[in-house]
Amino acid sequence: MVNAFTVAAAAAAAGAALAPRTGGRSLLAGPVSLGLMAGVRARRLRGRDEATGTAAERFACASVELLFDLGGFVAALELRRPSMLFTGLKPADAD
């Protein structure tokens, strides 16, 4: 799965480029896309069991998962490894 912050950064860049035409409304593209990614992850956490916690609890868990994506995004920038922008971090013992 693609890194959520890569998607948000691309949406923010497109929004910034279109800002003069849209009167600044396109600047919301980055935060909105990140919110949508969190919502999709929260929905996936629900799975098939309808009784797995409240919606707020699932959204909080999805938000914590997004922090790992943020770490992968920052690491990719710091290590200058653009492939990590799309794959994220892999666990050290995954090899």
State pLDDT tens for residues 50-60.
Answer: 656 777 888 88
Between CA 9 and CA 33 the distance in angstroms is 9
Tens of pLDDT along 57-94? 888 888 888 888 888 888 888 888 888 787 766 655 55
Q: Cα separation of 7 and 37, whole Å? A: 9
Q: What percent of the chain has pLDDT over 70?
A: 83
6: nearest Cα among 64, 62, 89: 89
**Number of other CB atoms surrounding residue 32 within 10 Å:** 14
pLDDT band at 21 (very low <50, low <70, confident <90, very high): very high
pTM strictly above 0.85? no
